[in-house]
A and B are shown apart, each in its own frame.
Chain A
């Protein structure tokens, strides 16, 4: 399919450019423990998880007050580094139909929050993808696969949804997902 695409040379250039960037920036802060898994899917867009990796630092040093206030009513405020900039742009452009809920904001709040999310988005996302759900990204699926978490856990009403990060990560709201703080509810 790609072969017949007129944009193919451009695609090569873009991928090559991405590889270049990822080699220089991402390699340095990759967590060691992830290395073995990356072998199979690291080459497609550069970087681990086929290029769908969360940011190297998730802890929000300077949380934006508007974001904290407006994005934490229905679920925890998900820290920006969990998704790439393009995901946040798309998500913020569709708040009227936000996962089945109306989450509309007035224009000035939406603008401020979008800027904060985009500025602090994942710096390790190399793939040209932009999922709306954190839980659909390759890094999330890999970290929460059936080796890490038994399928029965997701049926526990205390977990309810994979998007319910703080059910297992007590520091989720601060962007702290460190392994020593993970507790799966019984």
Chain B
């Protein structure tokens, strides 16, 4: 029940967003391209894969949390911080036009969240896989 009503709120917010689109520095596809340049330079590079990204996003990596602990199983839905309960706006670009439009912000949060979930930084390959997955998520 809760999920449906919040989904409607988000539809409303998204609709308003369309009429007043702010000027973002980058598009999510440009961010993906930047990640690809970094990943392609690494040994064992494989084409980014949404399926691998989804798997990575949804499983635990030896610690208490997975990405879904805060961003939920549905990246288009509003999330909730696992510790504090604070609402987190949807992480999928289809549901939140601000996502993946600022490389510095993207890298800052990958660093923090990967550290919390994996106890290390994510590789460019992992980041690219995750973003590829998030770009396939429909509202």
Contact = CB atoms under 8 A, between A and B. Distances in A.
B84 A102 contact: no
Interface in B117-137: none
Interface residues of B, number: 12
Nearest to B112: A102
A74 interface: yes
B52 interface: no
Contacts of A66: none
Contacts of A100: 83, 116
Given A101-B116, A102-B116, A75 B111 contact: no
B112 A103 contact: yes
B81 A74 contact: yes
Contact of A163 (B84, B88, B108): B84
Contact of A74 (B86, B108, B115): B86
A73 to B, nearest CB: 8
Contacts of B62: none
B32 to A, nearest CB: 23
Contacts of A161: 83-85
The residue among B84, B108, B115, B116 with the most chain A CB atoms within 10 A of its own CB is B84
Contacts of A102: 111-113, 115-116
Contacts of B115: 102
The residue among A74, A75, A103 with the most chain B CB atoms within 10 A of its own CB is A74
A76 B86 contact: yes
A101 B85 CA distance: 14
Interface in A31-75: 73-75
A163 B115 CA distance: 23
Nearest to A163: B84
A160 B81 CA distance: 11
Contacts of A146: none
A164 to B, nearest CB: 6
Interface of A: 73-76, 99-104, 106, 160-161, 163-164
Closest 7 CB pairs of A and B: A102-B115, A102-B112, A75-B84, A160-B85, A74-B81, A75-B86, A102-B116
27 contacts: A73-B86, A73-B88, A74-B81, A74-B84, A74-B86, A75-B81, A75-B84, A75-B86, A76-B86, A99-B83, A100-B83, A101-B83, A101-B112, A101-B116, A102-B112, A102-B113, A102-B115, A103-B112, A104-B108, A104-B111, A104-B112, A160-B84, A160-B85, A161-B83, A161-B84, A161-B85, A164-B84
